[in-house]
Chain A
Amino acid sequence: MNVGLTLATTGRVLTQVRHDPRTIGLLILVPSLLLGLMAWIFTDTPVFGVVGPALLALFPFIAMFLVTSITMLRERRSGTLERLMTLPLGRVDLLLGYTLAFGALAIVQALVAVGFAVWVCGLTVAGDAWLLVLVALVDALLGTTLGLMASAFARSEFQVVQFLPALVFPQVLLGGIFVPRDRMPDVLNAISDWLPLSHAIEALQTVSTDATGTGTVLRETVIVAAFAVAAIVLGAVTLRRTTP
């Protein structure tokens, strides 16, 4: 691990993103717009109060997953990854560099999305709104690290998109947005315990409904962070310097 090389990579990735306004839009604005749309659809019903926090986990997660995995895939396909593998850059430096870059964007994204949900969409928050920001941030980082890992198993942008139904949608269905997890059949409930998004959604729902739930929120957030770290480690293991 080398901090200088990691930060150089972070700076490089952020410069690339800066040259691409559409990606910035997808990361920063689209999650808020979708939240706004949901709030509008459910005007005059209590539904948004229930699903709003969960959506705060969902949209940033998916946006980060897509952008990160495609950026990393382009690195693979353009030959720059091969060049980097011949240079004195550690594999962990590369992955951490990416994570820090998208983590910085995730901070902006979380602030905008939470601010928008609370002030514009009128999402009620029983607990501390900063906790919402924290959970949304960790959740977006999870999207980033899973995206980095998934890109190792994809050969084209099309295959990256195929991971959405395979990896992401089951987590959405089992995450407790449609049916609270404790009311699911036992088997599904047990499976959902092992899906990181379930924990992110649980944390966000706890912040918004329970002013005394900080302990639960932090525990769930640590679980999400553990998944993110595991994804980086797996990503580093699957990233090989030599190819057959």
Chain B
Amino acid sequence: MMNSAIEAVDLVVHRGRRDVLRTVSATVPAGSVVGLLGPSGSGKTTLMRAVVGVQRITSGTLTVLGLPAGHPRLRSRIGYVSQTPSVYDDLTIRQNLTYFGRIVGAPAADVDRVLDEVDLREEQRALVRDLSGGQQNRVSLAAALLGSPELLVLDEPTVGLDPVLRRDLWDLFRVLASRGTTLLVSSHVMDEAQRCDRILLLRDGALLADVTPAELLESTGTSDADDAFLALVGSAR
């Protein structure tokens, strides 16, 4: 068992003429929940796309589950939820999950399991386009859970969800982590940061901090995560 699920060393990504990630070095320990935080446009989505192998890397190394990012053998070991729901809106929830399940080679019973995990069993026969935004997000998340991948890369998975559902999903993330799954979760909601094992804070494509939630509060002398975020992002300006 390796001890870091993701390891970036001097990772640089250019998109167009922009330096979107500037020599980022960070590690995500295996079996932990790591939060990826940072202002809008700081490069969170870009970093996640690089980890799942769809973002071209300019320089540096990015190792995922012991293999270089984008390696074909990683494709059945990573689950990815993009920032906007990426499921077919002209299929039902169940048809979507059945298709993605066949692609990742998940056992047929997995569809029911993930439907329960995201609490959409009742709606399974509804077309995705008839669902609310939060429900569509959960379908997208459910698709990533199929086949129980070792690493989950979740780009703002709780956007548009009410506090109860958010808490339930974070409970689910903790359960998955306790079974050995590694999770990299981006978020704008600071109280979610408190539920992570570690926090990576990005600003302008550079890594500002790699800390535990307690260290974040301590180092900024603040008592709540929102203030800590403001203090860190503001002080580096």
Contact = CB atoms under 8 A, between A and B. Distances in A.
Interface of A: 4-5, 8-9, 11-12, 15-16, 19-20, 78-80, 82-89, 241-244
Interface in B83-125: 84-91, 95, 99-100, 102-105
B167 interface: no
A25 B90 CA distance: 17
A84 B103 contact: yes
B55 A83 contact: no
B90 A86 contact: no
A130 B231 CA distance: 76
B75 A87 contact: yes
13 contacts: A5-B103, A8-B99, A16-B91, A20-B90, A79-B84, A86-B52, A87-B75, A87-B100, A87-B104, A88-B75, A88-B104, A241-B54, A243-B55
A213 B90 CA distance: 45
Given A241-B53, A241-B70, A243-B55, A12 B99 contact: yes
A87 B143 CA distance: 11
A92 to B, nearest CB: 14
Nearest to A80: B86
A241 to B, nearest CB: 6
B71 to A, nearest CB: 11
B106 to A, nearest CB: 11
Contacts of A78: 86-89
B89 A88 contact: no
Contact of A83 (B15, B70, B91, B143): B143
B56 A242 contact: yes
Contact of A88 (B76, B82, B87): B76
A85 B95 CA distance: 19
B76 A16 contact: no
A80 B95 CA distance: 14
B103 A19 contact: no
Contact of B54 (A11, A12, A86): A86
Contacts, number: 77
A8 B103 CA distance: 8
Interface in B48-88: 49, 52-56, 70, 72, 75-76, 78, 80, 82, 84-88
Contacts of B55: 242-243
Contacts of A82: 49, 54, 82, 86
A19 B127 contact: yes
Contacts of A80: 86-88
Most B CB atoms within 10 A — which of A12, A85, A243?
A: A12
Nearest to A4: B102
Contacts of A85: 53-54
A222 B198 CA distance: 61
Contacts of A87: 75-76, 100, 103-104
A79 B105 contact: no
B58 to A, nearest CB: 9
A219 B202 CA distance: 61
Given A79-B86, A84-B103, A241-B54, 20 more contacts: A8-B102, A12-B95, A16-B88, A16-B90, A19-B127, A20-B90, A79-B84, A80-B87, A82-B54, A82-B86, A83-B86, A83-B143, A86-B54, A86-B78, A87-B100, A87-B104, A88-B75, A88-B104, A88-B105, A242-B54
A88 B90 contact: no
Contacts of B163: none
B95 A15 contact: yes
A4 B106 CA distance: 13
Interface string B3-16: 00000000000111
